[in-house]
Amino acid sequence: MLAHHVLFWLKADTTEDQKTAFRKGVESLEKIESVKTFYVGVPAPIERAVVDTSYTFSLIIIFEDLAGHDVYQTHPLHLAFLDEFRGLFEKVTIYDAL
């Protein structure tokens, strides 16, 4: 298995309508055939020194293997998402784990 965890920080001037559209765009990625498990969320209201709640959205995808991840990276839905929403990102951090 491969876990793909993406944290998105949207720009400060992102409107609520843009955030709603962004979330729908992220949710569209679940349709990619190599995705086995999918979760999108926002920071939990947990106040501990080791918990980072500064991001706007979190995306966690589980793939069967590295090949499934590679399919996702070049899939037309993923590329369309990036084309449409890249301008809203202030920062993106990705953690991939085998």
* Domain boundaries, given as residue ranges, for the chain: 2-44+62-97
pLDDT at 42: 98
Residue 29, SS3 per DSSP: helix
pLDDT in tens, 2-21: 999 999 999 999 999 999 99
Q: Check residue 59 and give its pLDDT.
A: 98
- Residue 35's contacts (CB-CB under 8 Å, 6 or more residues apart) are 29, 61, 62, 63, 68, 72
Instruction: Tell me the whole-structure pTM to 2 decimals.
Output: 0.94
Give residue-wise pLDDT tens across range 23-82: 999 999 999 999 999 999 999 999 999 999 999 999 999 999 999 999 999 999 999 999
At 92, list the tokens.
Answer: 């993106």
| CATH of the domain spanning 2-44+62-97, picked from 3.30.70.360, 3.30.70.100, 3.40.50.1820, 1.10.3720.10 | 3.30.70.100
CA distance 70 to 61: 13
